[in-house]
Structure 1
Amino acid sequence: MKGVAAEIIPDFPDSLTPTVIMYKDKECIKKVQGLAEWGGSRVSADSVEWLLAELGVVLD
């Protein structure tokens, strides 16, 4: 999904984008919100892969 955060979810702050919400068996297991959790302004595909591996979403 792509769009202005506050237009998609009313009052959703831009500071929490990007946000990824991970579910398992219909239960929210983790929310990763804001650029800092993804590696800051230097976020890369490698840092995203590392974080998802740490969370057990992707396997080595």
Structure 2
Amino acid sequence: MEFAQMYRRFGSRVTILQSAPHLLASEDEDIAEALQEALEAEGIEVIANARAIRAEGSAGHVK
């Protein structure tokens, strides 16, 4: 989470992929929702129940 915020504040587009139904799966869901709202308010996209199937990179970009 800290790196997501850092890179977003540096101007990068940031998406967090979370395989669990919400962030911080071991924490109370209310806390996880508050964190997600704070991240989204900073422009960070959060996708829950996600599964990465591949990653691609090119000059200055990761997809």
Q: TM-score, normalised by structure 2?
A: 0.27
From the two aligned structures, give the one with the greater strand fraction.
1
From the two aligned structures, give the one with the greater helix fraction.
1
Greater RCO (CA < 8 Å, at least 6 residues apart): 2
Q: TM-score, normalised by structure 1?
A: 0.28
